C-alpha cells in the first residue's frame, strides 16, 4: 500500500487520489494551491455573484445545514452579506444531544427560517439496514437526503442559489483545481456523494420500500432545475475552508458546542455531531472496507494546516483507525441485527487492494511500515471465494 509522503492518506481511499513524482498526494497539492489564492479577490467575486441573485425570490439562497461547524460558517457568511437564507435540514434521527442543540439554535442566532425534514423512523431503520447490506454504508440515506432534499426545496420555493460548504473530494483528495470554480450538479451527487447508487436501488422486496416512501431522495428533473435556474455553489471556492477556524467562529459568536465526550475513533471533537454513529460504527465500516478511518481523515487536515506533524498524524492513525466502537451495540439494537451478522456482512466489502488473508486473519500494510493483522475472517468478499 502506498501512502502520501506529506500526509497520511493511502492510495486506495474513498476519495480518488493521484501522486506526483515526489509521492505527494493530490489532496496535499490542492491544499498548497489554497495558500496561493487571492482570497480577497474571491470574496469580491462572491459578492458579485450574490448581488446578481439578491431579492429575486422570497429567499436569497438555500442553506443546507446539519447544525455543524461548517453549517454555522455558511450561515455566518450569509448573515455577513445581508442575505435572507432559508436553512434546510435532512434529519437522520440519530443526532447527538449537543448536535441537536446546535441545530435548533441556528434559527435563533441567525434569524433565518428553518425547514427540517424528519423521515418516518421506520423508513430510516429500513434504510440503515439496506444501506449497510447493499452499499456497505448504513448512513447512505443521510448522504442521499442531505444532497437531495435541499434541491427539492430550492425548486419548490424557486430559489436559484444553493450554498454548499466544501467539495469534500477536492478538499480531501484534490479532485478539481480551485480555479475551476466547480459547482454542484446531479452528476456530482450521483457519482460522488451517493457513490453510484440512487433511491431506486433500495426499492426491493425485503423491506417493502416504495418510491413514495423515498420521495425525499428523488432528485428534481433537469427541466425543474432549469426552470428555476438552480445553481449549487461551493463556498470553499470563495472562502478558505478550515474546520477548526469554523468551529472557533461558531463557538465565539454563536454559542456552538463541540462534542461533550471524546470519540473512540478520532481525536477530533468538532466534527460529525449530527449522527452518533458517524464517527463510530459508520467510520469503522470504512476501516473494514478500505483500511483507514477518521483518525486518518482528521490527521491529514491537521497536517496540511500545519497544526500536526506527519509523525504525530501516524500516531493518531495507529491509535484510532482500527477501534471497533461501542456504539455498534446501539446500532444493532436500532436495526434488529446481531453482531455476528454485522461482522460477516461487513467483511464482504473488504477491498482486495488493501486486505489479504493470512492464517484466517485480515492483514494490511500500515502507514508506519508494518504488516498488521486486524481480526479474524468472518465473511468472504467475492474476490476471496
Q: CA geometry: angle at 366 spanning 362 and 369, to 5°?
A: 130
Q: In the prediction, which pLDDT does 62 show?
A: 99
Which residues are CB-contacts of 319 (< 8 A; sequence separation ≥ 6)? 267, 295
Given a cut of 90, whether residue 205 has pLDDT beyond it is no
| Residues pairing with 233 in the sheet | 163, 183
Q: In the prediction, which pLDDT does 248 show?
A: 98
* Domains of the chain, each with CATH number or no CATH: 39-243 (3.40.50), 274-384 (no CATH)
φ and ψ at residue 30, rounded to 5 degrees:
-65, -40
Q: In the prediction, which pLDDT does 335 show?
A: 98
Tell me the DSSP string of 47-62. HHHHHHHTTSSSSSEE
User: Is 110 in contact with 142 (CB distance < 8 Å)?
Assistant: no
- 162-173 per-position pLDDT tens digit: 999 999 999 999
- 238-265 per-position pLDDT tens digit: 999 999 999 999 999 999 999 999 999 9
Mean pLDDT, rounded, for 204-218: 95
- 222-242 per-position pLDDT tens digit: 999 999 999 999 999 999 999
Q: In the prediction, which pLDDT does 204 show?
A: 82
Rounded Cα–Cα distance for residues 177 and 169 (Å): 11
Sign of the dihedral through C-alpha 144, 118, 94, 77 = positive
Q: In the prediction, which pLDDT does 203 show?
A: 96
Given a cut of 90, whether residue 311 has pLDDT beyond it is yes
Q: In the prediction, which pLDDT does 47 show?
A: 98
Given a cut of 90, whether residue 384 has pLDDT beyond it is yes
Q: In the prediction, which pLDDT does 350 show?
A: 99
If you average pLDDT over every residue of the chain, what do you get? 97
SS3 category, 120: coil
- Entry pTM: 0.96
Q: In the prediction, which pLDDT does 170 show?
A: 94
- 268-298 per-position pLDDT tens digit: 999 999 999 999 999 999 999 999 999 999 9
Q: In the prediction, which pLDDT does 68 show?
A: 98
- 92-144 per-position pLDDT tens digit: 999 999 999 999 999 999 999 999 999 999 999 999 999 999 999 999 999 99
- Confidence class of residue 18 from pLDDT cuts 50, 70 and 90? very high
Q: In the prediction, which pLDDT does 298 show?
A: 98
Closest by CA position to 165, among listed 245, 97, 102 = 245
Rounded Cα–Cα distance for residues 353 and 10 (Å): 11
User: Is 45 in contact with 62 (CB distance < 8 Å)?
Assistant: no
User: Is 98 in contact with 89 (CB distance < 8 Å)?
Assistant: no
Rounded Cα–Cα distance for residues 263 and 71 (Å): 21
Q: In what order do the strands lie in the sheet with 356-358?
A: 356-358, 361-365, 371-376
Which triple of cell numbers denotes residue 29? 497539492
Amino acid at each position: 500500500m502506498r501512502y502520501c509522503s506529506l500526509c497520511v492518506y493511502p492510495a486506495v481511499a474513498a476519495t480518488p487520489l493521484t501522486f506526483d513524482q515526489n509521492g505527494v498526494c493530490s489532496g496535499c497539492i490542492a491544499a498548497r494551491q489554497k495558500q496561493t489564492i487571492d482570497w480577497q479577490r474571491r470574496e469580491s467575486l462572491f459578492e458579485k455573484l450574490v448581488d446578481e441573485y439578491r431579492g429575486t425570490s422570497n429567499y436569497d439562497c438555500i442553506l443546507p445545514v446539519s447544525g455543524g461547524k461548517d453549517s454555522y460558517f455558511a450561515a455566518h457568511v450569509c448573515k455577513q452579506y445581508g442575505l435572507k437564507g432559508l436553512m434546510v435540514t435532512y434529519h437522520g434521527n440519530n443526532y447527538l444531544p449537543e448536535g441537536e442543540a446546535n441545530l435548533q439554535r441556528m434559527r435563533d442566532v441567525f434569524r433565518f427560517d428553518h425547514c427540517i425534514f424528519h423521515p418516518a423512523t421506520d423508513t430510516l431503520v429500513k434504510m440503515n439496514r439496506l444501506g449497510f447490506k447493499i452499499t456497505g454504508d448504513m448512513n447512505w440515506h443521510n448522504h442521499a437526503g442531505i444532497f437531495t432534499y435541499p434541491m427539492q426545496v430550492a425548486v419548490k420555493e424557486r430559489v436559484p442559489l444553493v450554498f454548499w460548504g466544501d467539495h469534500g473530494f477536492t478538499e480531501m483528495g484534490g479532485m478539481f483545481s480551485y480555479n475551476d470554480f466547480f459547482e454542484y450538479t446531479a452528476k456530482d451527487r450521483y457519482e460522488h456523494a451517493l457513490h453510484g447508487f440512487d433511491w431506486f436501488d433500495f426499492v426491493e422486496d425485503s423491506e417493502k420500500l416504495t418510491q413514495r416512501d423515498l420521495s425525499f431522495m428523488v432528485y428534481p428533473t433537469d427541466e425543474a432545475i432549469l426552470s428555476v435556474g438552480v445553481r449549487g455553489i461551493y463556498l470553499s471556492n470563495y472562502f478558505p475552508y478550515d474546520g477548526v477556524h469554523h468551529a472557533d467562529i461558531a463557538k465565539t459568536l454563536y454559542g456552538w458546542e463541540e462534542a461533550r465526550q471524546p470519540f473512540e475513533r478520532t481525536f477530533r471533537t468538532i466534527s460529525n455531531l449530527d449522527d452518533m454513529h458517524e464517527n463510530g460504527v459508520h467510520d469503522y465500516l470504512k476501516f473494514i472496507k478500505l483500511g483507514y478511518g477518521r483518525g486518518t481523515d482528521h490527521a491529514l487536515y491537521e497536517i496540511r494546516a500545519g497544526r500536526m506533524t506527519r509523525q504525530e498524524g501516524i500516531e493518531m492513525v495507529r491509535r484510532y483507525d482500527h477501534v471497533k466502537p461501542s456504539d455498534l451495540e446501539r446500532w444493532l439494537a436500532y436495526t434488529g441485527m446481531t453482531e455476528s451478522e454485522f461482522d460477516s456482512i461487513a467483511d464482504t466489502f473488504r477491498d482486495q487492494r488493501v486486505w489479504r488473508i493470512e492464517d484466517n486473519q485480515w492483514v494490511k500494510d500500515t502507514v508506519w511500515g508494518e504488516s498488521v493483522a486486524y481480526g479474524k475472517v468472518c465473511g468472504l468478499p467475492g474476490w476471496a471465494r
